[in-house]
A and B are shown apart, each in its own frame.
Chain A
Amino acid sequence: MSIDLSQFIPTFLEESFEGIELMEASLLTLEQGDAETINAIFRAAHSVKGGAGTFGFNHVTEFTHLVETLLDEMRDGRRDISQKDIEILLNAVDCMRILIEAIRDESTYDESKIAATSKLLAATLNDRSPSDERIDEDIHESSIENLSEEAATTDLEPGLQRWSISFIPEHHLVQTGNDPLLLLNALRELGEMSVLANCNSIPSLTEFDGTELYISWNIILLTAVGKEDIAEVFEWVEDDCQLIISKDEQIDKQSLEITEMTNNVLSESVKEAESPASKIVENTGAENPKVASHAQAHKPKVESSSIRVGVDKVDSLINLVGELVITQSMLSELGNDFDTSKVERLNAGLEQLLQNTKELQESVMRIRMLPISFAFNRFPRLIHDLSKKMDKEIELLISGEQTELDKSVMEQIGDPLVHLVRNAVDHGIEATDVRVANGKPEKGTVSLDAYHQGGSIVIEIKDDGGGIDREAVLAKAKERGLIDESSSLNDAQVYDLLFEPGFSTAKEVSDISGRGVGMDVVKRNIQSLGGRIQIESELGLGSTFKVFLPLTLAILDGQLIKVGREVYIIPLITIVESLQTQESLINRTSGGMVLYRLREDNVPVIPIYKLFNIPAENKEIKNSLLVVVEADGQKVGLMVDDLLAQQQVVVKSLNDNYQQVEGISGATILGDGSVAMILDVPSMITMALKVAKTQQETHIMTEEAMH
């Protein structure tokens, strides 16, 4: 009986990513002698390796094995945990992620990076006794060279390959009942072999333990068999040794030369004779890179489509569904022979049904909620890398990571947050000498916090850096002509200028930030999630960026309005106020645009019936109902027939079976089962502007025609 393993691959991938994340997080907090953390990292690496082996992803297994060996040495205390090793391990974790991502996307990956890192790992593993490594290594290397030269001089029979095998057993190998001698003999059967024993690690007699193995071997094997067959010899000791099997490079060089020669010959023949065969060669040569780049370009961005849910959440759901079933059966029993005397019981039943439905809805929504630590956990690494790169000492404080956020919001907030944190490190925190001169602690602090406030989630990114220089921002804005020389702005308005496209006060552009690209994108991304961003800052003391996000995208507080026969929903968050128009405040401009004077502002009026080409009861602006909404800092008045109730609505996508409709962000189902459209205010404003523009143009054209 065979089991189709491929069905488990998604689980393997998910677990591997989790493992990799855990490794990364733990490595960053790893300290000397912290046995528990290093065990956790080791276990994570081991399960990735095990999983990869099961599914036959041998390149992952091989690479992870190196990582695991290094970790094992640290775990056993045979190796000190140095900062350098941690950097290498972090690098290796990145490589593991690349490998696993390549499996997930079924794409190719940058092999050179993986190769470089595995070399680095192998090199780290080799210098086990740092004290006298130099001399030993010299001897060691020269003898290896001699060995390989010797081997290289012998003529190669066709079909034979030269393998270089580095076999470094763990000290306890013999205790597991394995005999290296048997292994070497088994290898000898595969072909011609020369062996060099490395005795560097044999300790002095006082430390010598007779039950441990201190020798490692370098083997050059001339054989016709493949890598798998060689690896098979070591199958039983795979976990207890460090094994590198590689094709001898000299051979590779030779074969490369040969291919180069053949290529030259081929291209010459192409030039000389236009034979069909040579054409084919040319074609395949030209085609291949194209295919490769094609594959690269089409790498799909896979959004994770499954979520892990706590059993308690599922249990509560099952409970609630049970309740619902009970209520339903009670109601249907009641309906079987209903008379007026039972109205009270019916009402009680309906009340219960309402309660059940509400609870069920809340529980289901909770399933989509994930702790924000999913978004936060990438920051320790980011800060670690940034502080190294910029030579600033930075401490990251994270709090409120258990605050729950809708999964889809979480997926989209990651990048804007990264941008804000980068900004805080780059522009916020000053260079160390400046900090000391200003009497601040050398170490800068960046703190991330998340908490609930009202109906939204607030994410705070706070730094104790230099703060925002109000005057510098103002000067820059004036220089760029964003504001008038004379205008006086309050702090919030000044900080808002930072979100203007291309705005940057950084004197130097670094490769981390400062190009002024990005803050406007950050703001747009946050707005597209229905959120907003706010800056607080004090010069010399630091700045705080506050991101306000809605709890979920799936449910929205809406104001129901009516135009003609249709009911529409305006998201409550966009509504500034609703009012009845007074004639004296209506101004008409040329081109048919109507402005309504609202205290200091002139708000353009958009009659929905006109915008959507639908019938309406009221087409007169005078004494009509106006819902003033705001989006992207622009206020407009939407003219409606009637204001109905306010209620929470479940957002449904129109895209599933149809396509995006201009001015509409989605749809929902009302209590009577009918569908109502949810208005997309920013898109409506764009639509209205477009209409106004064309109207103005036709207006001008008709005027010209009249003259």
Chain B
Amino acid sequence: MEQEKEYLTFILNGEEFGVDILCVQELRVWSAVTQLPNKPEYIKGVINLRGVIIPIIDLRQRFGLTPLDYNEQTVTIILRSADTTKPMVVGIVVDAVSEVYKFALSSIRKPPAFGQKIDSCFLEGLASVDNKLIILLNSLSLLDQNELYQVDSAIHNNAVPV
């Protein structure tokens, strides 16, 4: 039998992105955060999720896009790493949640190496559904502290014209 993987997709600046659904803990509406001092813009702060303190990342800003205003419709996806030895929970703010798709592993194509506005380390592959192209994000690097919290300055500077 062909191996399949399920992805939750969300919209970010008109593009559709997908994350491994096994890493998605829950979806939440935007709630007020507590700021962390002297931290980059994309780290919005921390929230209390039933006694656990988790950081909230604005994925638009993390990927070097201009942020939207937050309102009651703003969605936060709470991701939890599947690696039980190093559990890490983080919330990402996205424009909207879209669908759940099932892709055969063989139908996922390798991402192009360059020319992306997002750090290529987060890219896992590309998949197409109904003539749409969905960018699949690598949950391992998305949930890796070093990758997530350290912005490749070259990419970031190019993306945000000063």
Contacts and interface: CB of A to CB of B under 8 A. Distances in A.
Contacts of A662: 37-38
Nearest to B143: A657
Interface in B8-58: 32-39, 45-48, 51-55
A661 B36 contact: yes
Given A656-B87, A661-B39, A669-B48, 5 more contacts: A612-B37, A658-B54, A659-B149, A662-B37, A664-B36
A654 B36 CA distance: 10
A668 to B, nearest CB: 9
14 contacts: A613-B37, A652-B52, A654-B46, A656-B53, A656-B87, A656-B88, A657-B90, A658-B90, A661-B37, A661-B39, A667-B34, A673-B48, A675-B33, A675-B46
A329 to B, nearest CB: 21
Contacts of B89: 657
A692 interface: no
Interface string A198-235: 00000000000000000000000000000000000000
A436 interface: no
Contacts of A663: 37-38
A664 B37 contact: yes
A675 B38 contact: no
A555 to B, nearest CB: 14
A652 B54 CA distance: 11
Nearest to A670: B48
Contact of A667 (B53, B88, B90, B145): B53
Interface in B36-88: 36-39, 45-48, 51-55, 87-88
B34 A657 contact: no
Interface in A609-654: 611-614, 652-654
A362 interface: no
Nearest to A609: B37
A588 to B, nearest CB: 24
Contact of A656 (B33, B47, B52, B149): B52
Contact of B32 (A657, A664, A674, A677): A674
Nearest to A653: B53
A662 B37 CA distance: 8
Contact of B47 (A566, A652, A661, A675): A675
Nearest to B90: A657
Contacts of B90: 657-658
A677 B35 CA distance: 9
A652 to B, nearest CB: 5
Contacts of B46: 654, 658, 667, 675
A334 interface: no
A364 to B, nearest CB: 13
Instruction: Give the one of B45, B46, B88 with max A CB within 10 A.
Output: B46
Size category of the B interface is 20 to 34
Instruction: Give the one of B33, B36, B55, B145 with max A CB within 10 A.
Output: B36
A595 interface: no
Interface of A: 566, 611-614, 652-654, 656-659, 661-664, 667, 669, 673-677
A297 B102 CA distance: 45
Nearest to B81: A657
Shortest Cβ-Cβ A-B pairs, 8 listed: A612-B37, A675-B34, A658-B55, A669-B48, A657-B54, A675-B48, A657-B89, A667-B53
A374 to B, nearest CB: 28
Instruction: Give the one of A613, A653, A674, A676 with max B CB within 10 A.
Output: A674
Nearest to A666: B53
Instruction: Give the one of B37, B39, B51, B87 with max A CB within 10 A.
Output: B37
A657 B36 contact: no
Nearest to A611: B37
A614 to B, nearest CB: 6
Contact of B38 (A612, A658, A669, A676): A612
Nearest to A675: B34
A658 B88 CA distance: 8
B40 to A, nearest CB: 12
A674 B48 contact: yes
Nearest to A679: B37
B52 A677 contact: no
A674 B53 CA distance: 10
Nearest to A684: B37
A657 B53 contact: yes
Contacts of B53: 652-654, 656-658, 667, 669, 675
Interface in B78-114: 87-90
A613 B38 contact: yes
A105 B33 CA distance: 41
A675 B38 CA distance: 17
B133 to A, nearest CB: 32
B51 A669 contact: yes
A66 to B, nearest CB: 39
Contacts of B39: 661
A158 B36 CA distance: 74
Contacts of A653: 53
A676 B145 CA distance: 22
Contacts of A661: 36-39
Contacts of B52: 652, 656-657
A458 to B, nearest CB: 33
A566 B54 contact: no
A611 B37 CA distance: 8
A676 B37 contact: no
Contacts of A613: 37-38
Contact of B88 (A566, A654, A657, A674): A657
B34 A677 contact: yes
Contacts of B54: 657-658
A683 to B, nearest CB: 11
